[in-house]
Amino acid sequence: MPIAMKPSKLPFSRPFSRSSFLRACLFVCLSACLSVNANTYAADDGDALTSAAIAAIVDAAVKPAIAQHRLPGMAVAVTVDGKRYFYNYGQTAMRGGRPVTKETLFEIGSVSKTFAATLAAYAEASGKLSLQDPVSRHLPALRGGTFDKVTLLQLGTHTSGLPLAVPERIRSEPDMAEYLSAWRPPYPVGTHRVYSNNGIGLLGAIAAARLGGAYSDLVHAIVFQPLGMKHSYFKVPAERQADHAQGYTAADAPIRMKEGYLWEPAYGIRSSSGDLVAFVEANMSGARIDDTLRQAIARTHVPRFRAGPITQDLIWEQYRYPPTLQQLLAGNAAILRAEAATPIVAAPSEQPAYLHKTGSTNGYSAYVAFVPDKRIGIVLLANKAYPVDQRVTIGYEILSRIAERAKR
């Protein structure tokens, strides 16, 4: 397992006066709510009806949320049958920011987990591991205990029983090995879905070790570079800091990610709407990618467990298409509570599926959803914390209206 970097605190913006703050908020809200940034881009300007229709759909869905939560900035990317559309709102910061573009960098939180799943599936497709392997096969320090029974698949489907967070005291691989050796599952392994940064962090680390490199380097080489994702990072370089949106808590306090052990697979990516929509397209048919990466992505879409309203894939959460909004919201409500999980042993259904993943850090909000059979997908990124249910609703409304219009 590669050694993770020690946690570090990123600098916050300086405090400013109440009057300046109110003026900044007013400016951001008005600019965001009244118009899309001048840099809004439609992939196919010749298809004016489609471009105009999508713009109207996106505006109607996102502007109320921008106003309600005083979001400094938001980037929206939509893909329809291989055509990309970008809609950008507001600024990268409440004070001294620049207009949001499709290259603006946001923390994407747990959407990062889908890249860890892809890397693990790539390692399996390359013959470096099997998702059915016990964890202890790859982490010898854990042999002879609980992790003889926990599989890599269970790490990637939140069914290992591991808790949500890596304890703050853990700073190294020996610390983690000591913690895991003493840990006992609250339920029999594989019987409950318990959302876990620990699990996907371990899976990402094991996959990287089997592939013979550092986790971040491998994600760059195997996923980012082949997909043309030139604006995605674990550590934002100095020359890109101007495009790095400042995050804000729900109370408008500036904040950025706090790194911890195994942070990279669990929540560590900063990316742009332009890059993430390329990743979404790679998760649907028609993408020009090599066979091993194609196989890996397909493996992340296989239904593995049913837990309450959720069909759990390798990190992705899946629903039969078309889902109702109530189904999606019920699934989201169940995310952080333990749910009895039933393995899916039948061959994957040919029924179209709606796949999605939410992502949150303390100052950023993300949502990605797509329907492979319809070749439609969406990316939502904002530099402020706002409710996950609202993101799910916005994404659902936009994709539903696009799908309905596509029938005409």
Instruction: Compute the average pLDDT of residues 328-337.
Output: 92
Alpha carbon distance 272, 84 (integer Å): 14
| Confidence (pLDDT) at 37 | 65
The topology under which CATH files domain 18-115+217-406 is Beta-lactamase (3.40.710)
Pair of tokens at residue 298: 């397909």
| Confidence (pLDDT) at 1 | 40
Angle, helices 48-69 vs 18-34, to 10°: value is: 160
Alpha carbon distance 295, 301 (integer Å): 10
pLDDT of 406 above 90 = no
pLDDT in tens, 164-193: 999 999 999 999 999 999 999 999 999 999
For the chain, give the percent of residues with pLDDT over 70: 87
pLDDT of 287 above 90 = no
| Confidence (pLDDT) at 362 | 97
Residues known to be catalytic: 110
3-state secondary structure 176-194: HHHHHHHCCCCCCCCCEEC
| Confidence (pLDDT) at 41 | 45
Q: What is the pTM of this model?
A: 0.89
Q: Number of H helices and number of E strands within the chain?
A: 13, 15
pLDDT of 6 above 60 = no
Band of residue 408 on the pLDDT scale cut at 50, 70, 90:
low
pLDDT of 3 above 70 = no
More confident residue, 18 or 357: 357
DSSP 3-state percent helix, strand, coil across the chain (nearest 5): 40, 20, 40
Backbone angles phi, psi at 87, to 5 degrees: -135, 120
| Confidence (pLDDT) at 230 | 98
Alpha carbon distance 288, 270 (integer Å): 24
Mean pLDDT of the chain: 90
- The answer to whether 331 and 264 are in contact (CB under 8 A) is no
pLDDT in tens, 64-123: 999 999 999 999 999 999 999 999 999 999 999 999 999 999 999 999 999 999 999 999
pLDDT of 311 above 80 = yes
More confident residue, 32 or 362: 362
- The answer to whether 366 and 106 are in contact (CB under 8 A) is yes
Indicate the SS3 state at residue 115: helix
pLDDT of 400 above 60 = yes
Dihedral over alpha carbons 218, 220, 225, 226 (to 10 degrees): 40
Alpha carbon distance 407, 252 (integer Å): 42
Backbone angles phi, psi at 73, to 5 degrees: -155, 155
- Closest by alpha carbon to 94, among 14, 199, 4? 14
